[in-house]
């Protein structure tokens, strides 16, 4: 039986690579994208099993469309899209520049639009697909030091819900995870810039610790599985109880 294809965008980070490894374990054939060529190649080689990878800037719409077309041509039709791309710095809004804002919005919101617009027509034609966006609990409650990031991730979540409504008729499920503080290189960068912010967040988590990347990947795995076929348009907090609805 031919394996289903999962495209993981932004696959070179700790949480993102964990998602890729989990999906491979679940039986998916993987296509990975990231701008970090060296790390991406290491992740692809580690996973093995015919994993393909594309190095590109995912805020470049033309490059994204070209890469998606190549995935579908060389690997096969994309059944699952997991958009994990994200980036921020731990800075106060009043101290930031508009160039920084644009970079944050491009990475955390526009990149999701580019790849979704490239992947979605094939899913509609096949009347099947799973899309998962990794947003952030900051999108729900806000976070000091991440104002523009929180806004961009909130936009991504609202976009996902709207796409879910538009495409449920085609048997396409669209959901988000909203991770809380997770042990990752990005979190360590933020900690170096603003250690008190990370300490505050960790104290607010009922489990009193950061999540491990594999714990975030577990929920992504569920959302692209058939067990989640009746779930769409949801933003699931994976934050150890940091936020509770």
**Three-state secondary structure of 38-62:** HHHHHHHHHHCCCCEEEECCCCCHH
Task: Determine phi and psi for 54, rounding to 5 degrees.
Answer: -130, 125
Residue-wise pLDDT tens digits, 3-40: 999 999 988 888 889 999 999 999 999 999 999 999 99
* Mean pLDDT score, 34-62: 95
Q: List the end-to-end C-alpha distance of the chain, in Å, as a whole number.
A: 41
In this prediction, residue 1 has a pLDDT band, given cuts at 50, 70 and 90, of low
Q: What is the mean pLDDT of residues 227-234?
A: 98
Domain at 5-182+212-238, CATH class: alpha beta
Name the pairing type of β-strands 78-83 and 52-55.
unpaired
- Is residue 71 within 8 Å of 31, Cβ to Cβ? yes
pLDDT at 184: 78
* Average pLDDT, integer, range 139-153: 91
Enumerate the domain spans of the chain: 5-182+212-238
**Paired tokens of 123:** 């899913």
Q: What is the pTM of this model?
A: 0.92
**Mean pLDDT (whole number) for 111-115:** 98
CB 176 within 8 A of CB 134: yes
Range name among 198-202, 203-207, 221-225, 229-233 with the lowest pLDDT average? 198-202
Mean pLDDT of 105-130: 98
Most confident listed range (14-18, 145-149, 206-210): 145-149
């Amino acid at each position: 039986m031919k394996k289903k294809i999962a495209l993981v965008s932004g696959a070179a980070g700790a949480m993102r690579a964990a998602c890729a490894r989990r999906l491979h374990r679940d039986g998916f054939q993987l296509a990975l994208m990231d701008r970090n060529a060296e790390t991406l190649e290491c992740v692809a080689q580690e996973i093995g099993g015919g994993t393909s990878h594309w190095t590109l800037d995912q805020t470049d719409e033309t490059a994204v469309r070209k890469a998606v077309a190549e995935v579908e041509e060389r690997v096969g039709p994309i059944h699952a899209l997991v958009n994990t791309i994200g980036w921020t710095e731990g800075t106060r809004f009043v101290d930031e520049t508009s160039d920084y804002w644009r970079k944050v919005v491009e990475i955390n919101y526009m990149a999701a639009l580019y790849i979704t617009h490239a992947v979605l027509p094939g899913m509609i034609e096949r009347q099947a697909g799973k899309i998962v966006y990794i947003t952030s609990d900051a999108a729900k409650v806000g976070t000091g030091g991440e104002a523009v990031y929180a806004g961009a991730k909130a936009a991504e979540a609202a976009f996902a819900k709207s796409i879910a409504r538009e495409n449920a008729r085609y048997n396409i499920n669209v959901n988000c995870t909203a991770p809380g503080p997770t042990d990752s290189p990005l979190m360590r960068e933020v900690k170096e810039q603003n250690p008190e912010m990370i300490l505050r967040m960790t104290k607010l988590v009922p489990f009193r610790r950061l999540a491990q990347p594999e714990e975030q990947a577990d929920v992504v795995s569920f959302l692209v599985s058939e067990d989640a076929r009746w779930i769409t348009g949801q933003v699931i907090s994976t934050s150890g109880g940091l936020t509770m609805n």
